[in-house]
Structure 1
């Protein structure tokens, strides 16, 4: 290969960033050429987010330098980064749902760019040019998740960027939307735009990216050409060990149904929420049922109805545990009947950020003998928290550490372990490995399979189709508050499930239970 005659578009030399008790980035070197799609890989806590924020000017490095077209520069804030031609699409979108597409883009570009009405022709031109058609006058809350991501990307492209940073861009997309995004990214690269692509989905990295830089423990652990590596080789570079990373779990038929949902309809009073329409679902003891779907299609509403956070006093028989109606029961009564619940939001819903792990262990496990005659048995609570930490390999100084001090993957392992060790008859888990690195994801999958094999009924709601196909025995998809028929995993594929996620299915009560 002929060496480039010009300097890299972006070059990092010896970037170092320290926080109290943590060396987040340790002398990191990175170079991205014009027109290159470059992957940044690493497990949770490896330093990826810190490095991205340094490039985009959100935070400043303690040491090292940033070179832009071979010249040293300072990225003092995001506005300065955008001025150089750097755009970033964060994992969590930053859009105002009650404003139009044009109004959101105008806010980001500032007054000098013109009014929303003046920007509309260029929004149409740019979005159509890159195959991401948008209607500038549509309100954001009426857009699908994939369309909202288009708004974020078009907002960057309107500013004539030279480097686009994408953080987990496919985590909320259907397979078809992912394919469309990749067409756009390849076109951008062909026109000379550099792309820094951060993802835990190694198959996508191998298919899209020309080069990859791998971080481990804040340091660069290697560089590679992803297309020349297997997923396992990439994972080893990231986590250093390969236990369970390529596990293939046998599919099972399960036993007697424990959870039955029949004719479940619910009108959501929230104008930005989703109403549920005639849902039918069953989960058998000793099986994992997976529900796919792009966020915003009724997952949150279904989870609230199953957990008891939203009750249905008028139709208790629409949800049954072991043939007992529970739709009218409070969350604690459902837990007493055998439910365990892992919510989508870890901090604030699954755990209280400021409380210690010991106190967080008590929050849902108080019914397992941790409280007696109204008094907390502190010794037992501490022992239970320590057992979670030991059994699920949670990386933390001790059980007194605050929940917010843990990485996302370790906090997720703690929350999942807290629920599993209560030996539930039914576990409902939302996005169990969302944003979690491959090592932690493999550990979580092993724990779910072990619980399944012990006879529990497990319902997993996830946007990660690879995950659902790996661990689920039967699959369905939510779209617009409607649920497709359950189908044995072995009898479908990602293309068909992707169509279900887009609403292309007919619900037929006779096929809900999907016989093997």
Structure 2
């Protein structure tokens, strides 16, 4: 007896036909077509501002298209809001987090899942089980405002994994994950795809796109510029599809030795009053003029606390002021503005809300930290100078925006990051402290930021970069170290450091002798 062949549903999970969306001064999406099959991991590539996030928000019901149609599992739909999208089985992890900071992890997840899923208390065991199974440990009772950026990203991902999803949209999901965490996430995504879940994956890390995704659609200036199979392309070929010209996007910068110690941290210990936070333990750190020091580490190991103490957002008693010094001057007791007067510039990890005020224009955001640069005279804001500075930042750092009066919230992540970094660099700081400088930005924007950091280094500035992107740290840092549980590893010349060395430091293995051979990572 011959058994009939199983019926295979070849209907695309999602189809978009000629989707267009216009904002004032910007055509974000221009007649975009896209099709995703069940069980397919589909990459969406493009520069910052190419229209990727807008398209994802249209699928998820956050934004409504001006024209075009969406077909979900063979049926035309008009996505009114995210609740409808979730009801159909669509989950999304946003690049900028959509969490209520004053609520707990469990309360945030309960809100997204609806009353039928149970109370936050009832969801706690499942949250622990799902987060541990996928290697993204979370404590359901913790308040979101006490979480690091990496931990908040875990909440976003776990919140989607707990839903019965048929399409998972991921907008830069690995931006704040270590390589090991990203690998664990990929195991999860491949398992979901094998079970029939479709995945739409946005990432500027081309290596992970090549390793994970079955196919890719490339956007450029709001239009579909092409399609490819990532596994069959090199990083350089993918970059060229995205930006049109890949020259000088991936550069090996020469390593240098700094001169005089400008930032000196000695025996810095600090007790974090937050029971879920990380306390610092005896940190020693020196950054010299004319060098870049890179600090690696898994999120939640003291990075936020160290940044707060360096920037002045957290201060030590006057008696301990010498624990941190700028050019031999004790500063640990000083406020942020006083430290800026001594030559500090600061790029925080959270660009929207911490690095910039979303509702303010780019010009007003330039004024926020650069007001000491002749932008205020006798108590009056010099509007012409403020606008000139904002326009200079936009021009010199290639920020894509209609003009300097555009609200910060309307920029793509990469363009806002270029603006914030440009605002700090143009103040010609003697010390720049930058957290995750290229988090979630495309290869073109990352290259622009790296070149700017190298140019600042060559001008004689001392630069401290805290990042979870190890490729970036090896590329631009002259010396490297890592944080683990509030402790700092020894710093070592990048040319003498291997990826396995940094991995050991990130796990707290500080006492293992490091191999002094040329790095191969």
The question of a shared fold, defined as TM-score above 0.5 by the shorter chain, is answered with: yes
Query: How many residues are matched?
Result: 506
**CA offset at residue 260 of structure 1?**
0.6
TM-score between the two structures when normalised by the length of structure 1 = 0.87
Q: 1:52 to 1:341 in 2, by over 3 A?
A: same
**CA offset at residue 451 of structure 1?**
0.9
In the alignment, which residue of structure 1 is the partner of 2:38?
A: 34
**CA offset at residue 198 of structure 1?**
1.1
**CA offset at residue 308 of structure 1?**
2.1
Q: Is residue 193 of structure 1 aligned with residue 190 of structure 2?
A: no
In the alignment, which residue of structure 2 is the partner of 1:457?
A: 462
Secondary structure in 1 aligned to 2:319?
A: coil
The equivalent position to 1:74 in structure 2, one of 75, 78, 90, is: 78
Q: Distance in 2 between matches of 1:102 and 1:307?
A: 32
Q: Is residue 262 of structure 1 aligned with residue 266 of structure 2?
A: yes
Q: Is residue 431 of structure 1 aligned with residue 436 of structure 2?
A: yes
Secondary structure in 2 aligned to 1:315?
A: helix
Contact 1:426 1:456 in 2 (8 A): yes
**CA offset at residue 471 of structure 1?**
0.7
CA RMSD of aligned residues (A): 3.2
Q: Which moved more, 1:404-413 or 1:213-222?
A: 404-413
Q: 1:381 to 1:10 in 2, by over 3 A?
A: closer
Q: Is residue 444 of structure 1 aligned with residue 449 of structure 2?
A: yes
**CA offset at residue 97 of structure 1?**
7.5
**CA offset at residue 98 of structure 1?**
8.1
The equivalent position to 1:473 in structure 2, one of 471, 478, 482, is: 478
Q: Is residue 108 of structure 1 aligned with residue 119 of structure 2?
A: no
**CA offset at residue 270 of structure 1?**
3.4
Contact 2:10 2:37 in 1 (8 A): no
The equivalent position to 1:337 in structure 2, one of 330, 334, 342, is: 342
Q: Distance in 2 between matches of 1:125 and 1:429?
A: 35
Contact 1:483 1:507 in 2 (8 A): no
Which digits, 9 at most, give the CA deviation of each residue in 1:119-169, with x for residues without a partner? 6776677667x6548688765769887676555445434433222111211
The equivalent position to 1:207 in structure 2, one of 199, 208, 211, is: 211
Q: Distance in 1 between matches of 2:131 and 2:366?
A: 48
Secondary structure in 1 aligned to 2:116?
A: helix
Q: Is residue 61 of structure 1 aligned with residue 65 of structure 2?
A: yes
TM-score between the two structures when normalised by the length of structure 2 = 0.87
Q: 1:454 to 1:20 in 2, by over 3 A?
A: closer
The equivalent position to 1:414 in structure 2, one of 415, 419, 424, is: 419
Contact 1:266 1:276 in 2 (8 A): yes
**CA offset at residue 267 of structure 1?**
1.9
Secondary structure in 1 aligned to 2:293?
A: strand
The equivalent position to 1:25 in structure 2, one of 25, 29, 33, is: 29
In the alignment, which residue of structure 2 is the partner of 1:394?
A: 399
Which digits, 9 at most, give the CA deviation of each residue in 1:259-289, with x for residues without a partner? 1100111222334433222111000111101
Which consecutive unaligned segments of at least 5 residues does structure 1 have? none
Q: Distance in 2 between matches of 1:282 and 1:31?
A: 52
**CA offset at residue 211 of structure 1?**
0.3
In the alignment, which residue of structure 2 is the partner of 1:224?
A: 228
